[in-house]
Amino acid sequence: MTQRPVSGSALKAEMSLTRGLADRFPAMTLTPEGCRAGRALLKGPTRDLAQRAGLACTTDHRIEARQVPRAGTEARLLATFAAAGVVILDGPQGVGAVLRRGD
């Protein structure tokens, strides 16, 4: 299944959802572990995640190798995960990702 990159309006909508989660998980950042866990839930290689987010393939590789992403890159990836139903978690209990259940 081919996914289009996240558009500006879709990114804003998904970021508003992400902000709601940030109330429960205040350290809403994209860690290498969270990125790997989220990508694993999407069951795809880094190339697919980068394509969905409209980023270069090497960007995800660098994040997973512990390079700190730019704020805009982090926002695009978090929005891409959120659009696919994946919530990246980074809180006192640990770091990872969960797949939201369908309503």
Dihedral of CA atoms 64, 68, 73, 74 in degrees, nearest 10, equals 80
Residue 85 lies in a domain: yes
Domain that holds residue 48: 8-99
Identify the CATH number of the domain in which residue 29 sits. 1.10.260.40
Helix (H) or strand (E) holding 88: strand 86-91
Answer whether residue 89 is part of any domain. yes
Q: Does 69 map to a domain?
A: yes
* Count of Cβ atoms closer than 10 Å to residue 62 Cβ: 15
Q: Is residue 2 part of a domain?
A: no
Q: How many folded domains does the chain comprise?
A: 1
Alpha carbon 35 to chain centroid, angstroms: 6
45-63 pLDDT per residue, tens: 889 999 999 999 899 889 9
User: Does residue 1 lie in a domain region?
Assistant: no
Query: Is position 30 within any domain?
Result: yes
Does the predicted model carry a pTM greater than 0.75? no
In contact, 86 and 41? CB cutoff 8 Å = yes
Given the structure tokens 């409209």, which residue do they identify?
54
Q: Rounded CA gap, 29 and 103, in Å?
A: 26
For 7-18, what is each residue's pLDDT tens digit?
666 555 555 554
